[in-house]
Amino acid sequence: MLLCIMYNVEDAKRKLEAYCAYQDRCHKEVITKLKSMNMIPLAIDVIVNHLIEHEFLNEERFAKSFVRGKFRHKKWGKIRLVRELKMREISRFNIDIALKEITSEAYFNTFHELAEKKWNATNENNILKKKKKVLDYLLYRGWETHLIYEKLQDLEISNKKT
């Protein structure tokens, strides 16, 4: 038996207010949620406008919290952060504002810690294979290639000294 729940605009507003209050959401997530509730396009527009007017939905705030969270907890680099925000249809303007949440010092410290931790955790005798594994790991997390190659050179040199 298929159960189909019908929402009126007021019920959908309340449900989406709670959805947005739980954690910051982007417009795309909210629209997808409303479509999954079988709301018509006119109702979706009304609800999204209501959420924006009442500060439940704010793309700049979403982008900033997304960048802070993913950088701090998942240790993502700027390339991955930008790619993920673009997938969520965040404007370039808001992406640039959000990236300013990360200080240069924190960015480079996190990169160096992450690279060194992965280097030390990688059990590989062949230095080229080890470099490739660390390279792939850091690229997947969205770190810039020039930073990675410089760091790999430093790690290889320091590895030869020990």
Q: For 61-76, what is each residue's pLDDT tens digit?
A: 999 999 999 999 999 9
At 84 the pLDDT is: 98
CA dist., res. 162 & res. 155, Å (int): 11
Domain-wise residue ranges, the chain = 9-53, 59-99, 104-161
What does each C-alpha distance from 17 to 21, 33, 138 come to in angstroms? 6, 12, 37
Residue spans of the chain under pLDDT 70: 1-4, 161-162
CA dist., res. 149 & res. 152, Å (int): 5
Please give the structure tokens belonging to residue 80: 């991955």
Please give the structure tokens belonging to residue 136: 């792939």
At 97 the pLDDT is: 98
39 with 19: CB under 8 angstroms? no
Angle at CA 82, nearest 5°, toward 78 and 84? 120
